[in-house]
Structure 1
Amino acid sequence: MYKSVIVGTGPAGLTAAIYLARANMRPLVIEGPEPGGQLTTTTEVENFPGFPEGITGTELMENMRKQAERFGAEFYTGWVKSVDLSKRPFKLQVEGKGEIVSETLIISTGASAKYLGIPNEKENIGRGISTCATCDGFFFRDKEIIVVGGGDSALEEANFLTRFASKVTLVHRRKELRASKIMQDRARSNEKIRWSLDKTPVEVVIDESGVTGLKVLNNSTGKVEVIQANGIFVAVGHHPNTSFLIGQINTDDNGYILTKPGTTETNIPGVFACGDVQDSRYRQAITAAGSGSMAAIDSEKFMESLEQ
């Protein structure tokens, strides 16, 4: 029996773990096969307070984990196969560990990368298709690459990939980008980045060796074009990792967990949500960390109310 179990890491889950561990609640943190979450796929984190020279996402997550462990948080790596939130204490079935019982539950499972859903995409992941520039950029040294997307993440990946690629073409289905001005300015000043806007991807072009290009629809002319490339990096957003909770907790139409305004409380007393799994708007490391501290405090106060 645990007082609190945290499902998922990343800035939200690890911050919650730090707060709960310091409160002597000895939380169990269950992390999936990608400890640290999406931030570990980011290169330099320049907007997290306290690091004037920046810090890598991986290093930031490692530091947070060590901090939580220092205060007594316990970690276990494995999939949460199912949960029973019908009554307290809550029951979780965890791969390799069996049943875990907890008085409170903090969900910080984050969000996963979306794909384009076009022919030859999924089957060529690892053969030219990727969603992680920091993981796979090295394999495309001196080659031509396409990045699909129009937000900050897409432009960040495009900039990063110019360290390896001979040319990076950014493909976006609209004429205007969604990225912040500073990211657009940075990308437009990079001489290795080319622009292919108002183009909708329709098919990944392949041969025996893997990806050779991307077939796109020119939305202005209605003509189909092929952009030659050895690799395609997809950066078109994320979806919340809440499939194991379907039917047991209130979510919006996109699957993001709904919380009571100003809190991390869900519709189930004793269950709290923090980070990107409940934030479809900001999705920043610092806002995730902030919501993680809120979830820990809400969880602690909930436990205190049971003892009164």
Structure 2
Amino acid sequence: MKAELKGTGVALATPMHANYTVDYPSLEKLLNHIIAGNVDYIVVQGTTGESPVFSWSEKLDILSFVLDHLNGKKPVVFGLGGNNTFDLIEKSKDLKDFDLAAILSASPYYNKPSQEGIIRHYQMLGDAFPHPIILYNVPSRTASNMEATTTLELAKHPNILGIKEASGDLDQCREIADHRPNDFMLISGDDALAYDIIKMGGEGVISVIGNLMPAEYTTMVNTAIKDDHATASKFNDDLSIVYDMLSEEGNPSSLKAGLEVRGICARTVKPPLYDASDAMVEKWKRYFDALDQ
């Protein structure tokens, strides 16, 4: 399991029509674009896929479409996180027959649980979920940081295989890297920090930029994993402007503006998110025009 989830995972965006229904032809185009970039696996219905705004039945439809289209070509991870532990356990029963490498589960938001509460939440999920779990620590969205000691305690659970770390705290990531079990994965949840996390021993990244520039980003990640840090550092520096642009008007609004410029899908995002501005689209046009020259 660890081997197939090493490298670059892509947090798949969800293309939409103007009426906010899923644009499946564009989703197929996006998947083909990502696969051509030699990424390692696909993450369906993470934050970048606008998971909070889809019903459970819509999420399962999207998952089914992706699995059917990939037909085993790439491992698939599915996002199932939230702040209602028992609801997540019930939903997970619907996933038992899906061919998933893992379930990515964000730490509970809004409730602001204690570290003991986070541990109990994930232990209950680990006992009940039909697939291995990747923890997801993203305090900028949950208002609750999962401390390194909490992660290391959860790393003992046989059905918890790793963590997507998006705290932005490299000291916290290093503590996990230095003290985790050998079979527990440390995965970057931040494109811009993936190089640093891989350098300290992390296994890779779950990426936003991989939707837009999969080949370029995968090359950087693979070079870093091979310990060619001089080359990887240069690739990473070259992509730094893209990291900044992807966050300029929020994720995935900024991303979808770039995908629109590349002819993959429209920039439409579902409320309460708001579509990227014309200025953002023009910025992407200038970037790609310069890149293509």
Bigger Rg over Cα: 1
TM-score greater than 0.5 by the shorter chain: no
Higher helix share: 2
Structure that is richer in strand per residue: 1
**Normalising by structure 2, what TM-score?**
0.29
Could you state the TM-score of these two structures normalised by the residue count of structure 1?
0.28
